Amino acid sequence: MLIQILGSAAGGGFPQWNCTCANCSSLRAGTMRGKARTQTQIAFSPTDGVWFLVCASPDLRTQLVGARELSPSSETAGHSPIAGVFLPSADVDAVMGLLHLREFQNFFVFATPAVQRVVRNENPIFRVLDRANPPVQWQTLASNRRIGCHLSENSGDPPTFFYSTIPLAGNYPDYASEDVRRGGSPGDACVGFLLEQENKKLFIAPTLSGHNSEWIKLAAAANVALLDGTFWSDEELLATGRTKKTARAMGHLPLSGAEGLLAQYPKDAAGRKILIHINNTNPILDENSEEHHAVVDAGFEIAYDGLTIEL
């Protein structure tokens, strides 16, 4: 399996257009040792010429145009190698890219019932996806189910890969209706994915609320884990003055602190652990910062746009 990180920042990207935090200011000024990043977008290829997306980033069009492997080919049925999109949540930065895929193309979208309700029923703009003939096909994700995905033309062949959906106990986005925010199943708001192929495992959770712990064993047993690296500290966003919410209130387990991801993650996990969905305020983006070194010393990698992983 080939994995491409097309975008590694949280919503807003890095730098963010209206932000004057220390990171955004110094990156703009050219005085920071660090990289600009687009909003989180993961792509994986379980077999030659077939790609799946995880998240649908607001930067998706630019990300696809910049990735040669994901370009359309007249030799491919339907032209695009993109077979489907896995949605971990209905967050704006996880679904907005669907609108970039609206050009009369048929593909699969995998999402929980509640995420489908928010995207398909509550936001009619996404009905542009129905214009494809045949229309985009929605597949319902059920928590803790392991599903085989067959891509071979021979129906007797084993599945090309397996995917499991892991509930992460996150929040529904603020823009969702009161009905969904109050009545939607908590397990359907935000999910992670475990992809398995030939005894290799990839765990993906760009958003981790930290409100449950079922995911920890699965992540630690994976060969590669892509983990929520949004915020260094719980209070990080308060300093910008744009919100009064802590990281935890926004559904993100911070990296630092006694209860943070770095402290909680099993020390004996053998696989690669890679932080993704990094907010522009996060000091780990500054490669000269203490926080950057603390993360690297703890054995974590920090995802960047263009990172390729072979599994």
**Which parts of this chain interact with Zn ion (CB under 5 A)?**
16, 19, 21, 24, 280
With respect to Zn ion, which residue has the nearer C-beta, 19 or 85?
19
Edge-first strand listing for the sheet containing 108-111: 137-140, 108-111, 82-86, 50-54, 41-47, 2-7, 308-310
Alpha-carbon span 37 to 12, nearest angstrom:
10
With respect to Zn ion, which residue has the nearer C-beta, 240 or 246?
240
With respect to Zn ion, which residue has the nearer C-beta, 3 or 19?
19
Q: What pairs with residue 106 in β-bridges?
A: none
- Give least dist CB 255 to Zn ion, A: 17
What ranges in 15-161 are assigned the alpha helix state H?
Answer: 22-29, 60-65, 92-95, 113-116
- Give least dist CB 190 to Zn ion, A: 23
- Give least dist CB 93 to Zn ion, A: 15
Which of 54, 60, 59 minimizes the C-alpha distance to 83?
54
With respect to Zn ion, which residue has the nearer C-beta, 163 or 304?
304
- From residue 147, give the alpha-carbon distance in Å to each of 11, 73, 162, 202, 279: 30, 29, 5, 15, 32
Alpha-carbon span 178 to 176, nearest angstrom:
7
Checking DSSP bridges between strand 41-47 and strand 308-310, what pairing results, if any?
A: unpaired
- Give least dist CB 21 to Zn ion, A: 3
With respect to Zn ion, which residue has the nearer C-beta, 19 or 90?
19
With respect to Zn ion, which residue has the nearer C-beta, 23 or 197?
23
With respect to Zn ion, which residue has the nearer C-beta, 37 or 117?
37
- Give least dist CB 31 to Zn ion, A: 14
- Residue 192 makes CB contacts below 8 A (sequence gap 6+) with 88, 165, 166, 168, 203, 204, 205, 208, 215, 218, 219
- Give least dist CB 29 to Zn ion, A: 13
One-letter amino acid of 299? G
- Give least dist CB 209 to Zn ion, A: 22
